[in-house]
């Protein structure tokens, strides 16, 4: 009996601590991006015309496609947690895998978008920016690369968590009575989507 109690207690403790840890992590991420949003708002207020001019260089279609992609991914990751709770493990695996592929599609779009900017000589510290752009435009693109790059990093981290969740679903470590890893994966991915929902209008719909 003592041995059984010893096994159950760590499982319960680990599940609760992982949830608390994820919520604390999400809170710190919201503080980080919240501070960046404040910086953006201040610089945009100080350089409204330059920010509008610089935003013309961004492709709103790609931004809109990425927004739709992430909204769909939020739905699929939420469906995966629901499927697991209903005992449909294979369906949960398929839905997480689809979410992973959607995240990959987002990164591919971002790669090509950044590639176009680089081909036009637009990247932090480039001669084109330093010699031909105003200070306000430089600030805009500096914030654009930092904030969208940081968001892309979060996409990669989220996809890595999905890999662990899929492995857990396959080997039985994530199941109907132990869904914490998949739940935390979903929470993190919703955070990633939420951040992009703010980034998209700030940079792409500034007109």
The answer to whether residue 4 sits within a structural domain is no
Residues 159 and 106 sit within 8 Å (Cβ to Cβ): no
**9 found inside a domain:** no
Answer for the pair 109, 58: CB distance below 8 angstroms, yes or no: no
d(CA 38, CA 118) in angstroms, rounded, equals 27
Say if residues 118 and 57 touch (Cβ distance below 8 Å).
Answer: no
Say if 188 falls within a structural domain: yes
Residue 176 included in any domain: yes
Domains held by the chain: number:
1
Residue found under tokens 């509008």: 52
Give per-residue pLDDT as tens, 121-164. 998 889 888 888 999 999 999 999 999 999 999 999 999 999 99
Domain span at residue 147 reads 15-204
Question: Residue 97: pLDDT above 50?
Answer: yes
- Name the one residue in this structure whose structure tokens are 């109690």: 5
Mean pLDDT within 89-117: 96
Residue 153 lies inside a defined structural domain of this protein: yes
Distances (CA, A) of 37 to 131, 175, 201: 27, 38, 12
pTM given for the model: 0.87
Per the CB < 8 A criterion, the answer to whether 185 and 165 are in contact is: yes
CATH of the domain at 29: 1.20.120.80
Distances (CA, A) of 203 to 14, 77, 122: 40, 26, 15
């Amino acid at each position: 009996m003592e041995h059984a109690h010893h096994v159950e207690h760590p499982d319960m403790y680990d599940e609760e601590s992982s949830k608390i840890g994820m919520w604390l992590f999400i809170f710190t991420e919201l503080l980080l991006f919240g501070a960046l949003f404040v910086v953006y708002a201040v610089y945009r207020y100080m350089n409204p015309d330059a920010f509008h001019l610089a935003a013309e260089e961004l492709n709103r279609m790609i931004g809109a496609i990425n927004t739709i992609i992430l909204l769909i991914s939020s739905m699929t990751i939420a469906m995966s947690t629901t499927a697991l709770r209903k005992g449909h493990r294979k369906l949960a695996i398929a839905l997480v895998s689809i979410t992973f592929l959607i995240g990959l599609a987002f990164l591919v779009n971002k790669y090509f978008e950044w590639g176009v900017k680089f081909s036009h000589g637009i990247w932090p510290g480039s001669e084109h920016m330093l010699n031909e752009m105003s200070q306000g435009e430089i600030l805009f693109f500096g914030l654009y690369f930092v904030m969208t790059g940081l968001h892309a990093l979060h996409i990669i981290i989220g996809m890595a968590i999905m890999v662990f969740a899929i492995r857990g679903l396959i080997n039985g470590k994530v199941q109907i009575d132990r869904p914490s890893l998949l739940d935390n994966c979903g929470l993190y991915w919703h955070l990633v989507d939420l951040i992009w929902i703010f980034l998209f209008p700030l940079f792409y719909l500034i007109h």
